Structure formats: structure tokens, C-alpha cells
Amino acid sequence: MKTRRLLPRLAACAAGLALGLSSLPALAQPPAPTASLVRNGGMEAGTATPNFWRIWHKNDAGFAPVLARDTAQKFSGDASLRVHHPTAGYSSVQSDLARTAPRIKARAAIRVAAEEIEALDIGIQCFDENRRQIRWLSLAGTTELELPWRVYEEEFQLPAGTVTWQFVVGFRGRGTVWVDEVSVTAVE
Ligand SMILES: [Ca+2]
């Protein structure tokens, strides 16, 4: 009895397989790009500031950098992230902490523009299970005072022991930095 009931299902499966085989050429197309592991890397979500990004700065007297979501100067979409230093100092903007498989190999990409700055550092900060920083992976840096929108791309591997990590853009001096289209995608 059971065998008889199964037969129509098997026939249906065979029909499905035949359909699958006939659509095989579609598999030859390049795979869809992997989703970025950086939340809101396009800075589109948010109002006064982009969601999932925060600023840290040195506590020098009178130094008050301003983080904003800028809808006037942007690389793409409706907005970018802007950091302004009214006076000279050091600050860094950081993405939300991300958690991925350890030793992941990934490609980082970022768009940056700047005015009147002294130095810019871009990298990935890696933390262990106790939130201690175990490695700073420098991706790019410059001491150019003026920077049109520029693309930086770099492949990196998270070191062993990494539990969480974040994208960091730090800059020194007086001036303004814009950041847009930040992404980290796994390549293996
Ligand atoms: Ca954008």
C-alpha cells in the first residue's frame, strides 16, 4: 500500500528534477554579490546622524567634533556621514560591532572626501571575547589636506581570536571628512 502511495510523489519529484535540469544554464551566471557586513554603510538610514555609527574623540579641552548625516555632500544615494572639527583634534567614527566567523577573509571598501585635514586613517579594529582590542588592521591612510571623493579597497583577514570587529575612520587636525558606501564582504 505504502509503495503505491509513494509512486505518484516519486513521479512528481522526477518531473521537478527534469525542470531543474532544463534551467541549468541559469547557474552559469555570476552569483549575486554577498551582502555587506557593515550596517548602514551607505549612511542612508538616520536623521541627525547615520544609524549604527558613533563618534569617539580625545578629551582635549574645548575640542568638540560634530557627527552628522549630510544630505548635501554625498557619494551616492541621499546622504553621507560627515565629521567636522571646528578646532584641531583627533576623532574617529566607528561602525556598529559586527560578529563573523573567525579568520574570515573579506574585502573592505569605502568612499572618503576631506577638506583641510592633517591626516586620515582607515582600518578595522578587532576585539576578543572580552571586548579587548587585539589588532588594528590598517586599510588606508593619507596626509593630503584636500581629498575629492576617493575609493579605497583592500582585502584583509580577521586574525585568530577575533570575536567582534568594527570599521573605523579616524582623522586629525581641523577640517571636515565625509564617508559613504562603506562595505565589508566575505570573499571566502
Ligand atoms: Ca550614501
Architecture of domain 53-186: Sandwich (2.60)
- For residue 36, report the distance from its CA to the centre of ligand 1, in Å: 14
Cα of 91 from ligand 1 centre, angstroms: 21
- Give me the residue spans of the domains in the chain: 53-186
The rounded Å distance from CA 180 to ligand 1 centre is: 5
Q: pLDDT 10s digit of each residue in the chain, 188 long?
A: 444 444 444 444 444 444 444 445 555 555 555 789 999 999 999 999 999 999 999 888 889 999 999 999 999 999 999 999 999 999 999 999 999 887 889 999 999 999 999 999 999 999 999 999 999 999 999 998 999 999 999 999 999 999 999 999 999 999 999 999 999 999 87
Output helix, strand, coil percentages for the chain, rounded to the nearest 5: 15, 50, 35
pTM above 0.85, yes or no: no
State how far the Cα of 19 lies from the Cα of 23, in Å rounded to an integer.
7
Q: How far is the CA of 111 from the centre of ligand 1 (A)?
A: 10
